[in-house]
Amino acid sequence: MSGGMALFIVVALGAIGWIVARARATRMQAEAGRLATHSLPGQHGWYVALWTVLPALAFLAVWASVTPALVLDSVLNTPVAQKLPADDFTRSAILGEARALASGARSVAFNPQSLTLVEPFRAAILRYSGLGALLAIILAFAGGAYALSRVRPAFTARKRVEKLVMWLLLGASLIAIITTAGIVASLLFESLRFFSMVNPLDFLFGLKWSPQSAAMGYGTRDAFGAVPLFWGTIFIGAIIAMLVAIPLGLMSAIYLTQYARPQVRRWMKPMLEVLAGVPTVVYGYFAALTIAPALRNVASTLGISGASSESALAAGLVMGVMIIPFISSMADDSIAAVPQSMRDGSLAMGATTSETIRRVLIPAALPGVVGGVLLAVSRAIGETMIVVMAAGLAANLTLNPFASVTTVTTQMVQLLTGDQEFDSAKTLAAFALGLVLFVVTLLLNIVALRVVKKYREAYE
């Protein structure tokens, strides 16, 4: 009997328990009277169902984790297994193959000896999974019977079920903390391993990035200087993209909130938001296919040297467009938060609308806008697909926007795809880069939220 079957039977037993308990509680309620019973029939039903299912499920989970060892043990005790070679490597290879054959995961044997072990494996697996299923079903019956015996008018089934529900809710909310801890732990752990091979100072301040040469055995000293990557990231995400996104986003927000007629606003605002909903891989493809070749042609007609078909400008431009709705909605919010009285005061003094916007609204909304820009920068430097597809792989320290630069995220993708031995400095470098990225985006977000919050409080 397979685990899935046992699972199904346990859940079915739970459903039966629910029905039986509910029927019994309904009868009981009719006999004892509504006011004499503590809980509703359905709540008794849930109590019994949970007692039926949960212990059995917990047992099945534990069983599933210990069975492989038990199966292996019993197979090794069979006479056939005595003929296995003593060499550990071949031995475990044969055992693994036999197990895969027995469970049907594979159909062809590489080593003929594993065929002799298939039968013992199959028998052991059958024995233990059957035993587990039987025990689980007995456990389900026992739990259900125990809970069913407690269906009494005064029994507080509701409180007990609700207590479990509360634990469930608490558990769900703890997943967020676990995830954060998981991210921090995995980044820190792998980064520490990386920094045991590469000096952190060389990594943070080194000017030469060529992980390939480290992989080929030229040593790690000059291979992992990440400054060119940091520069490329800042150049694309914080400079070029923002030069596009801030003016366009801010002016769009101003026009749509201050000048546009309501009908225009109703159509244009969602349209701008579509820009944020386009997947980044589409932007990346667009940048690589359309924008980058066009920019290279422009550069070569202008006679700019070092123009590459994978330019920082193409990636930055497209990323800027992606960020426009982000900036625009942040600016929108902070302009809307400026008190009407300030606007009215300025207009009453005879200022034109644009003078009011430039001299009153924007200065008053500036902290909010700055916070929005910081959030946008954190978004832009963590963006991956656009730079992977449109920016290059050459780690250049250059100011020429038509040249190819590489970024932190591009290199992370580059380092972790292809061959993966998990102990090489090359692979672990991706985690160190990830740690830097995580810390920087976290700081940017904290600062941005603090700026926005502080400013909001000032006007409320």
Partner 1 sequence: MTITATQLNPGRRTIAPTAWRDDTMRRRIARRYAAERRFKLLGLAAVLLSAGFLAFLLITMIGNGARGFTRTEIALPIDFQHSVIMIDPATLQSPAAQQALANANLPAVIDTAANTAFGEGGARMISPGAQIAVRKAILADPTVLNGTATITVPASEGIDVAAKGHGDAANEAAVNRLKQAGALSTGFNLRFLTASDGTDPTLVGIWGALKGSLITMGITLALSFPIGVLAALYLEEYAPRNRWTDLVEVSINNLAAVPSIIFGLLGLAIFLNLMHLPRSAPLVGGMTLALMTMPVIVIAGRNAIKAVPPSIRNAALGIGASPVQVVFHHVLPLALPGILTGTIIGMARALGETAPLLMIGMRAFVASPPGGITDPASVLPVQIFLWSDEVGRGFIEKTSAAIIVLLLFLLTMNSLAIYLRNKFEKKW
Contact set for partner 1, span 362-421 (CB under 8 A): 375, 378-379, 381-385, 388-389, 409, 412-413, 416-417
Q: 30, 281, 366, 458: which one contacts partner 1 (CB under 8 A)?
A: 281
| Binding segment toward partner 1, per CB under 8 A, in 30-38, 61-69, 106-114, 180-188 | 180-188
57 binds partner 1 (CB under 8 A): no
Q: Residue count at the site for partner 1 (CB under 8 A)?
A: 86
- Our finding on whether 347 is near partner 1 (CB under 8 A) is no
Which residues 6+ apart lie within 8 Å of 121 measured at CB?
Answer: 71, 75, 98, 99, 101, 102, 103
Does position 358 interact with partner 1 (CB under 8 A)? The reply is yes
357 is an interface residue for partner 1 by CB under 8 A: yes
Least distance CB 115 / partner 1 (angstroms) = 25
Taking each helix axis from N to C end, the angle separating 88-103 and 41-76, rounded to the nearest 10 degrees, works out to 130
- For position 190 contacting partner 1 by CB under 8 A, the verdict is yes
Site string for partner 1, 64-83 (x = CB under 8 A): --------------------
**348 in contact with partner 1 (CB under 8 A):** no
Which region, judged by CB under 8 A, interacts with partner 1, from 6-14, 203-211, 299-307, 350-358? 350-358
Per-residue binding letters, 307-346, with partner 1 (x by CB under 8 A): --------------x--xx---------------------
* Smallest distance, partner 1 to C-beta of residue 394, A: 17
Rounded-to-integer distance, Cα 109 and Cα 119, Å: 14
Tokens standing for 314? 């193409």
Question: What is the footprint of partner 1 within residues 250-279 (CB under 8 A)?
Answer: 250-252, 254-256, 258-260, 268, 270-272, 274-275, 277-279
Rounded to the nearest whole angstrom, what is the least distance from the CB of residue 65 to partner 1 in the complex?
Answer: 12
C-beta of 178: minimal distance to partner 1 in Å? Answer: 9
CB-wise, 79 or 262, nearer to partner 1?
Answer: 262
Angle at 246 between CA 237 and CA 271, to 5 degrees: 100
* Cross-strand pairs, 224: 209
Is position 177 an interface residue for partner 1 (rule: CB under 8 A)?
Answer: yes
Q: How many CB atoms lie within 10 A of CB 460?
A: 6
Shortest Å, Cβ 400 to partner 1: 24
107 sits near partner 1 (criterion: CB under 8 A): no
**Is the CB of 213 or the CB of 280 nearer to partner 1?**
280
Stretch that binds partner 1, among 21-29, 173-181, 298-306, 394-402 (CB under 8 A): 173-181
x/- letters, 431..460, toward partner 1 (CB under 8 A)? x--x--xx--xx--x---x-----------
| Residue 19 binding partner 1, by CB under 8 A | no
Q: Min. distance of Cβ 410 from partner 1 in angstroms? A: 10
Binding window for partner 1 (CB under 8 A); candidates: 80-88, 184-192, 297-305, 361-369? 184-192
Q: To the nearest 10°, the Cα dihedral for 184, 185, 187, 190?
A: 170
Residue 288 within binding range of partner 1, rule CB under 8 A: yes
**Least CB distance from residue 134 to partner 1, whole Å?**
27
